[in-house]
Amino acid sequence: MTIADASNPLSNPTIAEKKLFDRCRAMRATNSRTSAFGLFAETGLPHRRMEQWKWTDIRAALTNLETPSIDLAKQTVEVPEGACVLIFDGVAWKLPETLPEGVSAHRQSDATPLKTIEGLPLGQLTASMTGQDSSSDFVSIEISGKVDQPIFLDFASAPAETAFARLAFNILPDCSVRLIEAHSGNAAFSSTLIEFRLQSGASVDRTFVQRASTAQSVGITATAVLGEKASFVQTALGFGAKVCRVETHVRFEGAEAHAELNSAYLAGDDHHIDFTSHVTHAAPSCTTRQLTKGAVSKGGRGVFQGKFLVPRSIGQFTDADMQHQALLLEDGAEVFAKPELEIYADDVECAHGNTSGQLDEAALFYMRQRGIPAVEARALLTEAFIVEALQTAHEAVRDQMIDEARNFLRAEG
Amino acid sequence: MADDIRVKDGIDADTVAAAKALQSENYSAGFATDIETEYAPKGLNRDVIRFISEKKGEPAWMLEWRLKAYERWLTMEEPNWAMVEYEKIDYQDIYYYAAPKTGAKYESIDDVPKEILETYEKLGIPLREAEVLLGVEGSADTAADARGTTQPAGTRVAVDAVFDSVSVATTFRKELQKAGVIFMSISEALREHPELVRKYLGTVVPQSDNFFATLNSAVFSDGTFVYVPEGVRCPMELSTYFRMNAENTGQFERTLIIADKGAYVSYLEGCTAPMRDENQLHAAVVELVALEDAEIKYSTVQNWWPGDENGKGGIYNFVTKRGDCRGPRSKISWTQVETGSAVTWKYPSCILRGDDSVGEFYSIAVTNGRQMADTGTKMIHLGKNTRSRIISKGISAGRSDNTYRGLVSVHQKASKARNFTQCDSLLIGGDCGAHTVPYVENRCANAQLEHEATTTKLSEDQLFYARQRGLGEEQAVALLVNGFVRDVMQHLPMEFAVEAQKLLEVSLEGSVG
């Protein structure tokens, strides 16, 4: 399908969809852009009639696309000392003059979209909107050493209708990198795509904080393909937006690799946050540990969708555990969850657990009888509950993240 | 399942044997009965619906209801979200009505067509039991008596036998009538108690609920109607035995059970079909209504022909089952043992509308050969203090796929609602699949929802208690998980449930999650 063909594939496109189609048509068509956009155009903006998006309706949220008139950027985390900072201003990546040893970056022309974004409509959209001849940069970064210095990715777009940011990381064998990301910015609709390729023995440690207003819609999409004995650790804290989808797809392609996906979400006051993940154990003896914790107050909606897929025979000896636990702090809060397993190999251990409800009354009672006022006891217990999912965060920002969580809970309490 | 299949360490040998015993080559109910059969013209159109309605002597409103459903069905699309694959069904290549030419109720054993007697005999029900089953006067009172075993009073079972599209016999009607219980085929109920049928039909599963339920609403042929009046505890177990016999025929039964205030009823359905190379469609609808303080226990032993090991033939089992706990403190409990059908698409559900109402779902699903089962439950919490419990065990063998798909939904006003879900899966061999797709929606702050999917995540307290009494961890887990399930299964009315008895040996040790 060419972009021209895709100009109006939907019977009833929304204003936002029309704008996106027009914008893509205005760019120079290359094979990869056309194919990425064609894939996106098959469904348009994801909506609730699509199984994977039934609780997160981007199309309904984005009926129109208008540049925000006020500053919407929110506090996330501060840049730690000594970090290498890459800033995305909504159009281009600002790279520092010198990069740390073992890090090299270059702007990509219209690179072939990786296969890993199949089934990720926001990833496909972002891929088609970035790269040379488009308004947004696509930067690829190669890691060829053990990089201690944290790389700080600041997604701080200027006020705009949209902001599309794309990065690709290639981590060479036995090399490692640690990332800290602040997803804030001023675009009405921002969509980020980060693709990780971890070669054998490589490791990535990724920590990020997302915060936006209810005038914004946000997509943060990441894919990671892991070689033998590679390790991918991700820790996220999200506060949501009008709609916010954080989607992470991990695929094990080498044996004995390990992934850890930990997330905490706090949503209230018409904020919507969705953590969706998909882990494919396409290699034997890989392990996954996943913990998602959430607290939602009145008007907030938390969504968790996790899936472990263990393909036939190649996924033997998988050991995977998925836990999602959420607190509904008050009436008017909503938590929707779908912890899913799809298993085709018989010698595996896959567990999943899901709870939602209130704080443990027994623990509250215990604290109150020790003289702690109810409000404080509640705040302490909720904080302890949430913080468990932030233990793997980068130490340079972990305390800041815990503070942000605490501030939210105090404000809600 | 080949004999030399490599099975993961830790999987209970009896479980493997039990699953193997359920392979299609051991299917004992797969014979066909040679009996003269009357059909509706093949295919589906308004005339066929009129034919069915006329055959059953239905009131005019019923025919209109059917035709309305049919118009709606024409606008609907077959759902494709389940994890099952099957060849497209040609809805015009099916007979929607088939009945033995002599089909009627029989006064004496001599009047019962020999073929039908033999059918029940072959299904493992000895002749004297069959006499009971067919309601012949003067025969032994219960199936248990006929077996020469003694069972306490109250374990008797009244049976409605549905052969293709018609009910051929309903037993113990008179005795049930004395207690005020109405137990008859839905065709008879439409003639004898049209006001009751009209009041409740389609109130739990609306005509336009889903593709298959709407099809059923248009063409349903027979099924069972039960009404237990206020304050009555049904004096015996009720049961329907569904038998598909005719070729190229679909079975579309409709069951409607109403338990009035304070009533109790336990109901069992069993089903088998001949081994045929073609796929046959079974699209049933079951509606349960429990009013204030009423309780309905609904058990299913589903043993439709699953197709051979290469996936040839077998029943497509697309069933909509739903119970409505309409009154406060009502309770509906679904227990299902699923071993048959080529493709299963079935989610017995509870709408917990009344305050303090309770919904339960206990399921063991075993798939072999090329079977595909996508089954689970929906618990919709609307009332305050509503409670639900879901225990699901899936066992996959051969090249089959077994999916648990469930929804727990707590609405805003369902204050202090409570759900506990546990679903475990076991794979026997490396060519099958086990999947879990739970949906959990919580809109109420003080509701408590828990979902577990491993044997290791049992209540720590229970485990600790069992271990401090000297049990090893594995033994303790087996006791707590399997003991519980076994207990449930032992409460199944076992009159026809040979398969269920075999499943009592099943253990979930070595489950994958």
Residue A297 CA to residue A412 CA, distance in Å, equals 7
Looking at the complex, report in whole angstroms how far the Cα of residue B391 sits from the nearest Cα belonging to chain A: 14
Residue A364 CA to residue A413 CA, distance in Å, equals 15
Residue A155 CA to residue A394 CA, distance in Å, equals 18
A213 token code pair = 């207003």
pLDDT score of B502: 55
Q: Which helix (H) or strand (E) holds B350?
A: strand B349-352
Looking at the complex, report in whole angstroms how far the Cα of residue A86 sits from the nearest Cα belonging to chain B: 39
Q: Domain tally for chain B?
A: 1
Q: Do A353 and B451 touch (CB under 8 A)?
A: yes
3-class secondary structure, B387: strand
Residue B422 CA to residue B452 CA, distance in Å, equals 5
pLDDT score of B134: 52
pLDDT score of B485: 52
pLDDT score of B104: 47
- Specify if B507 maps to a domain: no
**Test the A interface: residue of B77, B416, B436 with most A CBs within 10 Å:** B436
Say whether residue B413 is in contact with chain A using an 8 A CB cutoff.
no
Residue of B nearest to A311 (CA): B433
Mean pLDDT across B457-471: 72
Q: Which of B511, B350, B377 is nearest to B15 (CA)?
A: B511
Q: Do B447 and A357 touch (CB under 8 A)?
A: yes
Say whether residue B451 is in contact with chain A using an 8 A CB cutoff.
yes
Say whether residue B449 is in contact with chain A using an 8 A CB cutoff.
yes
pLDDT score of B128: 46
Distances (CA, A) of B148 to B140, B141, B145: 10, 11, 5
Residue of A nearest to B407 (CA): A338
Q: Which of B81, B453, B456 sits opposite A352 (nearest CB)?
A: B453
Q: Do B513 and A337 touch (CB under 8 A)?
A: no
Residue B23 CA to residue B398 CA, distance in Å, equals 9
- Give the whole-number percent of chain B exceeding pLDDT 70: 78
Q: Which of A329, A339, A346 sits opposite B427 (nearest CB)?
A: A346
Mean pLDDT lowest among A160-164, A221-225, A403-407, B462-466: B462-466
Q: Which residues from B are below 8 Å from A316, CB to CB?
A: 430
pLDDT digits (tens, 9 = 90+) for B118-169: 776 666 554 344 455 554 444 444 443 433 333 344 456 777 777 777 776 6
Residue B215 CA to residue B208 CA, distance in Å, equals 9
Q: Which long-range contacts (CB under 8 A, 24 or more apart) does B479-487 make?
A: B481/B422, B481/B424, B481/B455, B481/B508, B482/B506, B482/B507, B482/B508, B482/B509, B484/B391, B485/B362, B485/B364, B485/B391, B485/B393
Chain pair A-B, CB pairs under 8 angstroms: 125
pLDDT over 80 (residue B347)? yes
- Specify if B474 maps to a domain: no
Q: Which of A331, A343, A347 sits opposite B433 (nearest CB)?
A: A343
Say whether residue B452 is in contact with chain A using an 8 A CB cutoff.
yes
Mean pLDDT lowest among A200-204, B218-222, B269-273, B450-454: B450-454
Burial of A25 (0-12, 13-18, 19+ CB in 10 A): middle
pLDDT score of B151: 39
3-state SS, one letter per residue, for chain A: CCCCHHHCCCCCCCHHHHHHHHHHHHCCCCHHHHHHHHHHHHHCCCCCCCHHHCCCCHHHHCCCCCCCCCCCCCCCCCCCCCCEEEEECCCCEECCCCCCCCEEEEECCCCCCCHHHCCCHHHHHHHHHECCCCCECEEEEEECCECCCCEEEEECCCCEEEEEEEEEEEECCCCEEEEEEEECCCEEEEEEEEEEEECCCCEEEEEEEECCCCCCEEEEEEEEEECCCCEEEEEEEECCECEEEEEEEEEECCCCCEEEEEEEEEECCCCEEEEEEEEEECCCCCEEEEEEEEEECCCCEEEEEEEEEECCCCCCCCEEEEEEEEEECCCCCEEEEEEEEEECCCCCEEEEEEEEECCCHHHHHHHHHCCCCHHHHHHHHHHHHHHHHHCCCCHHHHHHHHHHHHHHHHHHC
DSSP letter, residue B222: -
Q: Do A338 and B434 touch (CB under 8 A)?
A: no
Mean pLDDT across B321-342: 92
Do B142 and B132 form a contact (C-beta atoms < 8 A)? yes
Q: Which residues from B are below 8 Å from A344, CB to CB?
A: 430, 432-433
Residue B314 CA to residue B345 CA, distance in Å, equals 14
Q: Which of B8, B457, B512 sits opposite A353 (nearest CB)?
A: B457
The residue type found at A132 is: Q
B100 token code pair = 């033995």
Residue that the structure tokens 């909107």 belong to:
A129
- Give the whole-number percent of chain B exceeding pLDDT 90: 39
Residue of A nearest to B414 (CA): A331
pLDDT digits (tens, 9 = 90+) for A369-407: 999 998 889 889 999 999 999 999 999 999 999 999 999
Residue A235 CA to residue A206 CA, distance in Å, equals 6
For every residue of B247-314, DSSP letters joined together read TTB-B--EEEEEE-TT-EEEEEEEEE----SSEEEE--EEEEEE-TT-EEEEEEEE------TT--SE
| Radius of gyration from C-alpha coordinates of chain B | 22
pLDDT digits (tens, 9 = 90+) for B222-249: 889 999 999 999 988 888 877 777 777 8
Q: Do A338 and B457 touch (CB under 8 A)?
A: no
Q: Which of B412, B437, B440 sits opposite A354 (nearest CB)?
A: B440
pLDDT digits (tens, 9 = 90+) for A293-323: 999 999 999 999 999 999 998 999 999 999 9
The residue type found at B269 is: E
Q: Which of B412, B430, B448 sits opposite A313 (nearest CB)?
A: B430
pLDDT digits (tens, 9 = 90+) for A73-107: 677 788 999 999 999 998 889 999 999 999 999 88
Do A240 and A264 form a contact (C-beta atoms < 8 A)? no
Confidence of residue B479 (pLDDT cuts 50, 70, 90): low
Q: Do B429 and A346 touch (CB under 8 A)?
A: yes
pLDDT digits (tens, 9 = 90+) for A329-345: 999 999 999 999 999 98
pLDDT over 80 (residue B205)? yes
Q: Do B435 and A343 touch (CB under 8 A)?
A: yes
Chain A residues at the B interface, defined by Cβ less than 8 Å, are: 51, 312-313, 316, 320, 326, 328-358
The mean of the pLDDT values for chain A is 90
B377 token code pair = 């439950």
Residue of A nearest to B450 (CA): A355
Say whether residue B278 is in contact with chain A using an 8 A CB cutoff.
no
Q: Which domain holds residue B35?
A: 24-81+90-297
Q: Which of A206, A223, A201 is nearest to A146 (CA)?
A: A201
- Give the whole-number percent of chain A exceeding pLDDT 70: 93
Q: Which of A348, A349, A355 sits opposite B449 (nearest CB)?
A: A355
Say whether residue B459 is in contact with chain A using an 8 A CB cutoff.
no
pLDDT over 70 (residue A26)? yes
- Specify if B56 maps to a domain: yes
Q: Do A354 and B425 touch (CB under 8 A)?
A: no
pLDDT digits (tens, 9 = 90+) for A110-159: 655 556 677 899 998 998 888 866 778 889 999 999 999 999 999 998 88
pLDDT digits (tens, 9 = 90+) for A249-301: 999 999 999 999 999 999 999 999 999 999 999 999 999 999 999 999 999 99
Residue B226 CA to residue B196 CA, distance in Å, equals 10
Do A48 and A61 form a contact (C-beta atoms < 8 A)? no
Contacts of B177 (CB under 8 A, 6+ apart): none
Looking at the complex, report in whole angstroms how far the Cα of residue B400 sits from the nearest Cα belonging to chain A: 10
Q: Which of A329, A342, A346 sits opposite B8 (nearest CB)?
A: A346
pLDDT digits (tens, 9 = 90+) for B264-308: 999 988 777 777 788 888 999 999 999 999 999 998 888 888 888
- Specify if B246 maps to a domain: yes
**Test the B interface: residue of A52, A309, A341 with most B CBs within 10 Å:** A341
pLDDT over 90 (residue B312)? no
DSSP letter, residue B135: T
Q: Do B440 and A349 touch (CB under 8 A)?
A: no
Q: What is the dihedral of CA A118, A121, A126, A132, to 10 degrees?
A: 50
Q: What angle do CA B226, B228, B230 make, to 5 degrees?
A: 155
pLDDT score of B417: 95
pLDDT over 50 (residue B317)? yes
B280 CB neighbour count, 10 Å cutoff:
25
Looking at the complex, report in whole angstroms how far the Cα of residue A46 sits from the nearest Cα belonging to chain B: 17
Say whether residue B407 is in contact with chain A using an 8 A CB cutoff.
no
A280 CB neighbour count, 10 Å cutoff:
21
Say whether residue B203 is in contact with chain A using an 8 A CB cutoff.
no
Residue that the structure tokens 């049904």 belong to:
B234
Residue of A nearest to B401 (CA): A344
Q: Which residues from B are below 8 Å from A291, CB to CB?
A: none
Q: Do B448 and A351 touch (CB under 8 A)?
A: no
- Specify if B463 maps to a domain: no
Distance of alpha carbon A76 from its chain centroid, rounded?
15
pLDDT score of A7: 47
Q: Which residues from B are below 8 Å from A328, CB to CB?
A: 442, 444-447
Q: Do A352 and B435 touch (CB under 8 A)?
A: no
Domain extent listing, chain A: 5-412
pLDDT digits (tens, 9 = 90+) for B45-80: 999 999 999 988 899 999 999 999 999 999 999 988
Do A305 and A337 form a contact (C-beta atoms < 8 A)? yes
Say whether residue B434 is in contact with chain A using an 8 A CB cutoff.
yes
B residues 65-84 lying closer than 8 A (beta carbon) to A: 81, 83
3-class secondary structure, B174: helix
Looking at the complex, report in whole angstroms how far the Cα of residue B347 sits from the nearest Cα belonging to chain A: 17
Residue A297 CA to residue A268 CA, distance in Å, equals 5
Q: Do B8 and A337 touch (CB under 8 A)?
A: no
A190 CB neighbour count, 10 Å cutoff:
28
Q: Which residues from B are below 8 Å from A351, CB to CB?
A: 453-454, 456-457, 513
Phi/psi for B152 (5° steps) reads -60, 155
Residue B419 CA to residue B449 CA, distance in Å, equals 5
- Specify if B382 maps to a domain: no
A28 token code pair = 């120079």
Residue of A nearest to B444 (CA): A331
For every residue of B183-196, DSSP letters joined together read EEEHHHHHHH-HHH
The β-bridge partners of B440 are A337, B408
Mean pLDDT lowest among A193-207, B36-50, B102-116: B102-116
Better pLDDT: A1 or B116: B116
pLDDT score of B136: 46
